[in-house]
Amino acid sequence: MIKGTVIIQSERCKGCQLCIFACPQGVLRLSNAYNSRGYRTVRLDETDRRCTGCAVCAVICPDSVFTVYRETSHSPAMGADAKGGCNGQSAVERQ
């Protein structure tokens, strides 16, 4: 199974929850914390490590708060160049 994670820029999040409803893995939750603008922000629930790094959250987010990391799969036949990125991870960032 492909694994991923997201970094959320909480100060830019306005808690619209579009990402929560769009997430196919159901790993995003509304936090109990508030940012400096008074919005409840979104957080990643990593309890089950089900995030695949699909980037649906980054595509749907109107405020571009997500940086998505996805572990790339590689087979020994493909060699070291197949890893991509740093430490075998690639990043998709929407700004």
pLDDT in tens, 15-60: 999 999 999 999 999 999 999 999 999 999 988 889 999 999 999 9
Domain of residue 25, residue span: 4-93
Q: Give me the amino acid identity at 9.
A: Q
Q: For residue 42, give the CATH number of its domain.
A: 3.30.70.20
Q: Give me the amino acid identity at 71.
A: E
- Total domain count for the chain? 1
What is the structure's pLDDT at 1? 73
What CA–CA distance (Å, rounded) separates 30 from 22? 13
Tokens of 41: 């922000």
